[in-house]
Amino acid sequence: MSMEEQPHDPLRDVGELVDSLRLAGIRFLPRQVPGFAVPVLPVAATPVLSVEQTPAEPPRPVPPPLPVPPVPVVQPPPVPARTITLAPRPAPLAPSEELFALETVNESSTQGLSLEERAARLAALADQVSRCTKCPTLARERTRTVFGIGPLDAELCVIGEAPGAQEDLKGEPFVGEAGQLLDKILQACGFQRSQVYICNVLRCRPPANRVPELIEAQNCKPFLEATLDLVRPRFICLMGATAGRTVLETGTGIGALRGRELFWRGIPLAVTYHPAYLLRYPEKKRDTWEDMKRMLARMGRAVPP
């Protein structure tokens, strides 16, 4: 094909124009040169899709839920049944060759006895106590039993807790340091020791002077009741928590029993602190003295200031 037959190329014309301008020293041209039109190349139109025509993405597959492992049910361990062991009740004394059976000694069975007969029965009861082995530990470790001392038909009977070391050696209640304090209390109340019947709940000394155990007090209680039925005091003074708990058969503390008008089988009684407790806590002596004055007023005796 000859030059004349070649088709017209606009881009070639523009290129030749730019080269001639560059040779002429022209570097910039205004946005529009008069008499010259920049050829516009045809641009293929891009189709515009409407929202309705936009192809929707295929739904993404939803993964299946992860399996939840079962929660094991933990069963609580079985609670063992609580077993409460009660102290065995002391067995009643079996009939024997004693002068009298202890379980038959009571107020009604001693009403018709003379003073001499009551004294003889009290001596037989003391002999029976001396051979008692109901509390194996106490029977094994005692030097001797401590029964009681004082006159029959006493105006006042003092009941303590248990014998101490000195009482265990001599066989007489309240002869140690606590007994000396008791003598002073009785003298302040107008009594001589020989006028008062004195005994303890326990007739044997507990090891190391410990507090008597419940079963020990229960074993000795029949001896105490038989003693009181034979002595027949007009008034009873319980000294210490063990005496109050055993004679009155109550768990009430001594602080709540003080100052109350109490009775045992029709006999009026008072409750106060044990002399051994007063030796450890001297500040309680004033409270004890107030108890003694209330007791004297109930007895109809002169009350010291």
Q: How much is the pLDDT for 2?
A: 46
Structure tokens at 177: 């340091």
pTM of the entire predicted model: 0.66
pLDDT at 15: 74
At 105-156, the pLDDT tens digits run 455 568 889 999 999 999 999 999 999 999 999 999 999 999 999 999 999 9
Q: For residue 74, how many other CB atoms are within 10 A of its CB? A: 6
pLDDT class of 64 with cuts at 50, 70, 90: confident
Residue 117 in tokens: 């007969």
Whether 202 has a pLDDT exceeding 70, the answer reads yes
Among 213, 192, 193, residue whose Cα is nearest residue 201 = 213
> Domain limits of the chain?
114-299
Fold of 114-299: Uracil-DNA Glycosylase, subunit E (3.40.470)
* 280-294 pLDDT tens trace: 999 999 999 999 999
pLDDT at 22 over 70: yes
- Yes or no: say if 202 and 162 are a contact pair by the CB < 8 Å rule: yes
Token output for 207: 């090891």
